[in-house]
Structure formats: structure tokens, C-alpha cells
């Protein structure tokens, strides 16, 4: 038995419309970004309010300040990861289908595809794991060897998977360069 000829186009249209389900996900990620922004601003405010104490020439204070700044960097990198994920995913799965919007937005969004987005995310994860290792290095507490090994292992996995993903993208697009 064959299906009626109009069934497939309706199913295709329905599958095509599923992309709009990304809006609530992106709204949720945006709310998470706002939470990170609130935490970031709170920590910056505490840092500024503690400025008189931070100006003292004490090694313990220097180390605490460095840890605070590294924590702020970590939060900034996670926020950047959220923005790249929201914007890249929106461009790939929603806006790309709206031809009249092609000239709008940042240039990098016009060139992004799923693999490029994964490489950008992998680089962001590698950056976050670098910050974790840096926190271990400057910590006032002794970091156990098991934690060091775990953090470095995670960092290496992020680096290797990002490198492999970038190499796959390069191989897939090698003919574009010719």
C-alpha cells in the first residue's frame, strides 16, 4: 500500500517547524546567563567594596585577589559559552531558514555551521578547564593529586576533542579552499 501523496509534505512541514522549539531553550539559557551576570556583578561589587583591604601589600591578600579574579574570568568564559551557544544555535537552526535576514548580525554568524559551533564551544570548554587548573595552581589550599590529575585529564580531553572536531571540519572543507 502506498501513502497518500500529501502526507509527506505535511510531515516535512511539521518537522521543519520543530526548530521553533529552540526558542524556549534559548530563553532558558538566557535566564541562566542573567543569573551568571548577577553573580558576576555581585562578586565585582564585593571586590570594589573590599578595595581598601586589597591595597595592602600582603602576600595572602594578593593570592586571594588572584583567586577572585580567576573566578571572575571563569564566570566570564561560561557566559561567553552561553552566548556562543545561543547565537550559534539560533543562526544554524532558526535564522538560516529566513533568507531576508542573511545580511544582519555579526559576520561570524553567517559562516557558522554545526561543526564550527562545536569547535567554538570546545575552545570555550578548554578555556574554562584552563581556568580550573589555574585556580588549582594559585589556591591557598593544597590541591590533592587526584584533583590535579582529574582537572588535567578533563582539560586534555577537551583539547583533543576540539582539535579532532576542527580537523574533521578542515577535511570536510578542504575542497572549498582549492
Whether 150 is in a domain gets the answer: yes
Question: Mean pLDDT by 10-residue block, N- to C-terminus, for the chain (178 residues)?
Answer: 61 77 89 94 92 77 81 87 81 60 56 74 85 81 88 93 89 71
DSSP 101: G
DSSP 92: H
Number of Cβ atoms within 10 Å of the Cβ of 122:
19
Whether 97 is in a domain gets the answer: yes
Whether 98 is in a domain gets the answer: yes
Residue 137's SS3 state is helix
Asked whether 70 and 138 are in contact (CB, 8 A), the reply is yes
**What pLDDT, on a 0 to 100 scale, did the predictor assign at position 105?**
58
Return the C-alpha cell found at 7: 502526507
**Cα–Cα distance measured from residue 175 to residue 178, given in angstroms and rounded to the nearest whole number:** 5
**Cα–Cα distance measured from residue 39 to residue 80, given in angstroms and rounded to the nearest whole number:** 15
Q: At what angle do helices 59-93 and 114-138 cross, to 10 degrees?
A: 170
Whether 2 is in a domain gets the answer: no
Residue 177's SS3 state is helix
Asked whether 73 and 131 are in contact (CB, 8 A), the reply is yes
* Predicted TM-score (pTM) of this structure: 0.64
Whether 47 is in a domain gets the answer: yes
What is the domain count for the chain? 1
Domain range for 72: 7-177
Q: At what angle do helices 145-172 and 114-138 cross, to 10 degrees?
A: 160
Amino acid at each position: 500500500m502506498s501513502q497518500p501523496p500529501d502526507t509527506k509534505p505535511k510531515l516535512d512541514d511539521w518537522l521543519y517547524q520543530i526548530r521553533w522549539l529552540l526558542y524556549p531553550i534559548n530563553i532558558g539559557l538566557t535566564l541562566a546567563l542573567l543569573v551568571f551576570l548577577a553573580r558576576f556583578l555581585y562578586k565585582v561589587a564585593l571586590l570594589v567594596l573590599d578595595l581598601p583591604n586589597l591595597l595592602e601589600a600582603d602576600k595572602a591578600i594578593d593570592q586571594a585577589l588572584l583567586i577572585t579574579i580567576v573566578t571572575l574570568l571563569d564566570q566570564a568564559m561560561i557566559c561567553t559559552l552561553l552566548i556562543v551557544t545561543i547565537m550559534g544555535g539560533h543562526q544554524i537552526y532558526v535564522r538560516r531558514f529566513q533568507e531576508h535576514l542573511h545580511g544582519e548580525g555579526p559576520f561570524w554568524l553567517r559562516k557558522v555551521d554545526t561543526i564550527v559551533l562545536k569547535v567554538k564551544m570546545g575552545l570555550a570548554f578548554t578555556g574554562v578547564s584552563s581556568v580550573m587548573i589555574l585556580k588549582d595552581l594559585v589556591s591557598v589550599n593544597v590541591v590533592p593529586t587526584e584533583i590535579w590529575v582529574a582537572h588535567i585529564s578533563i582539560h586534555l580531553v577537551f583539547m583533543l576533542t576540539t582539535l579532532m572536531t576542527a580537523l574533521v571540519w578542515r577535511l570536510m572543507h578542504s575542497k572549498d579552499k582549492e
